[in-house]
């Protein structure tokens, strides 16, 4: 099995910054893409950012230029640096990883979520 543990959420004022971390552990052979999703109350979960194994990235239009996703393969960890935060960024943020446990065994895993609240 594979576990994803997120950290770094909290309360921040508009215009502020937060850095989320997500560490993967368990039976890991190789990690492909890692990403961040978010879900606001009453809304569907949406993709925020994704980073592939070749370090190419993609972002939701709403966060481009403000958020940066990165990864540390040695630590099996993905980060989300969030700057210029807006109240509409308020949501539970979930980490996601596409993991090979062996050469032939693959699965998609989710973290438990971390709350980000942007409010004055």
Distance CA 82, CA 67 (A): 4
* % of the chain surpassing 90 pLDDT: 98
3-state class (DSSP) for residue 37: strand
Question: Model confidence at 80, in pLDDT bands (50, 70, 90)?
Answer: very high
User: Distance between CA 78 and CA 70 in Å, rounded?
Assistant: 6
- How much of the chain is helix, strand and coil, in % rounded to 5? 10, 60, 35
**Averaged pLDDT of the chain:** 97
HSE-CB of 113 using CA atoms within 13 angstroms: 12
Q: Residue 73's pLDDT is what? A: 93
């Amino acid at each position: 099995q594979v576990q994803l543990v997120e950290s770094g959420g909290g309360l921040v004022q508009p215009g502020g910054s937060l850095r989320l971390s997500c560490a993967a552990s368990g039976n890991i052979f190789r990690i492909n893409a890692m990403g961040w999703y978010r879900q606001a109350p009453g809304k569907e979960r949406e993709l925020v950012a994704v980073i592939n194994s070749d370090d190419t990235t993609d972002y939701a239009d709403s966060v481009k230029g403000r958020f940066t996703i990165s990864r540390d393969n040695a630590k099996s960890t993905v980060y989300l640096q969030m700057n210029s935060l807006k109240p509409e960024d308020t949501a539970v943020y979930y980490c996601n990883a596409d993991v090979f446990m062996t050469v032939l065994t693959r699965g998609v895993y989710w973290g438990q979520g971390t709350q980000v609240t942007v409010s004055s």
